[in-house]
Amino acid sequence: MKYLITGGAGFIGSALSRLLAENPENRVVVLDKLTYAGSMGSLRSLKGKSNFRFVCGDIRDRSLVSSLLADEEITTIIHLAAESHVDRSIDSPALVMDTNVMGTLVLLEAALAHWRSFSTAARGNFRFHHVSTDEVFGDLGPADPCFTEQSPYAPSSPYAASKAAADHLVRAWHRTYGLPVVLTNCSNNHGPFQFPEKLIPLTILNALQGVSIPIYGTGGNVRDWLHVEDHARALALVARSGRIGASYNIGGEAECSNLTLVESICDTLDRKKPDPSGRSYRNLITFVTDRPGHDRRYGLDISNIRTELGWTPTYTLNAGIENTIDWYLQNSWWWQPIRDERYGGERLGLEQTRPGTAKDHPSLSAKATILPEMQM
């Protein structure tokens, strides 16, 4: 199969790219703008592979996307490119909407034209796989059953709203134009190569550097946790075998409160990398002002993908946390430059910047500069 992976230098996208490129019969083309969260280091293991190509560019560039689809004869698009951090969406909602909504629209238009260029027989082999989030469903009460694929949408944050809008666009292009699509909604991911603004790597790195570990509110908010390698396996399976027009929830069946999770990470680090002072890393936990609109609980019912496609998560939460901590302990070459140069762990999402307008975000008022193609 010939894949175009948007956002393939990001956390989930790079895990998927590494997985797909293991099969020499696959052709894997990554399109990534290399914004703050994209890293060529996450694709380092693919350097020199004849079945892999990296292109640095913007999903909103219709000409670039169309030429890649045609030149590479792409048969499967897996769309992961997005501004994905809730706190950043609170600070800069217009930028998030532009990337996540308008970027998806550009991809859909280019994909539709590309699909229509195929012969009737070849059209059946094409897929547009849109990767979304459990946050589109809003939040759950403590005793509520988990979200299913039929749960109504009730997004709380600008990020969740942007992903909900993109989901609806993908379904509309299927219903109106017949574009062959599949959708997935995943729970919170963890694992190697995750940008340090997210809770688990932020906790690990703050602990290692002896600075405070922030917990929003009381830490009682609950998330379901999915290891990124399990997620990548599920994405590849859905892209290959999912029913056209169907949606699949992908979760780890591992719900945990933020406070319990952070305490578990601290306890694991106490064993693996004890603080020189002899104190527990739990002493670094600091409760801070809660995030605006913070959802209480997410949980996904994954019976559909388990029954229909035979997928199930292989990592327990404890095993996944051990794996993730071990990776960060052993791979400072990847995260240290990010902490030093791009994101030092500062708090985001307190509306300290004015909600975005075209004036605030030059990318909305003029075409973004596209970097030249980069080959590996």
Q: Which residues are catalytic?
A: 134-135, 159
User: Are 128 and 75 within 8 A, CB to CB?
Assistant: no
Tokens coding 179: 């574009």
Q: Is the dihedral of CA 147, 149, 150, 152 positive or negative?
A: positive
Distances (CA, A) of 31 to 45, 69, 204, 374: 17, 11, 29, 10
3-state DSSP of the chain: CEEEEECCCCHHHHHHHHHHHCCCCCEEEEEECCCCCCCHHHHHHHCCCCCEEEEECCCCCHHHHHHHHHHCCCCEEEECCCCCCHHHHHHCHHHHHHHHHHHHHHHHHHHHHHHHCCCHHHHCCCEEEEEEEHHHHCCCCCCCCCECCCCCCCCCCHHHHHHHHHHHHHHHHHHHHCCCEEEEEECEEECCCCCCCCHHHHHHHHHHCCCCEEEECCCCCEEEEEEHHHHHHHHHHHHHHCCCCCEEEECCCCEEEHHHHHHHHHHHHHHHCCCCCCCCHHHHEEEECCCCCCCCECCECCHHHHHHHCCCCCCCHHHHHHHHHHHHHHCHHHHHHHHHHCCCCCCCCCCCCCCCCCCCCHHHHCCCCCCCCCCC
Q: How far is it, in rounded angstroms, from Cα 321 to Cα 327?
A: 10
